[in-house]
Amino acid sequence: MNTDGFIELPDDLFESLLQIELPDTVSKAGWYFDHDELIRAIREHGLKHPVKFRYQSGTYRSGTHYARYHTRDKQFWHRITINQLLKAESANETLWHELRHAIQSEKFAEDTGQPMNKFYSEGYKPAKGRWGASYMENTYELDARAFASKNKHIKLIKEV
């Protein structure tokens, strides 16, 4: 509190609230997204567009990244979903993997001049091999797995 009796808020609080959107509940497995660590990671790795984090449930996917365009706001954004049934350690590594895809999609847009929501349709074209092989052996997937492995010691997800 300052001398006028007002609570002082960090200078970048409002900017950080616009930069990410988090679920307001804990995952079914008992973990949550760490706001401060996510802001730090996003800034450190230069993501420019807002990121909305969500939970998903199911047995086939650990996580997904979507690059989206909001027509009303005329703004690009990322949506990252993490399977809320994963253990915290696996969810954390998956989150790093999906963050890398967000970084890749922004770099793709910068390098090609195409919108970032074209990243997957262009970067994962079947011309690079059979669909299963083209996904698992895709340069972007290999890079995302290496990035996640390198950064997983930094906990973006915390257990309750």
At 13 the pLDDT is 47
In terms of phi and psi (left: phi > 0; alpha: psi -120 to 50; beta: otherwise), the region of 11 is alpha
pLDDT at 14: 45
With left for phi above 0 and alpha for psi between -120 and 50, is residue 101 left, alpha or beta?
alpha
Give, in order, the Cα–Cα distances in Å from 29 to each of 133, 154, 159. Answer: 31, 19, 9
pLDDT 10s digits, 24-33: 999 999 999 9
* Residue owning tokens 């609570």: 7
Nearest to 64 by CA among 99, 29, 103: 99
**pLDDT tens, 87-98?**
999 999 999 999
- Residues (pLDDT < 70) of the chain are 1-18, 126-134
Boundaries of every domain in the chain: 13-159
152 closest CA partner among 26, 63, 48:
63
Sequence-ordered list of residues with C-beta below 8 angstroms from that of 51, at least 6 positions apart, any chain: 19, 20, 21, 38, 42, 77, 78, 79, 80, 99, 102
What are the tokens at 150? 């390198």
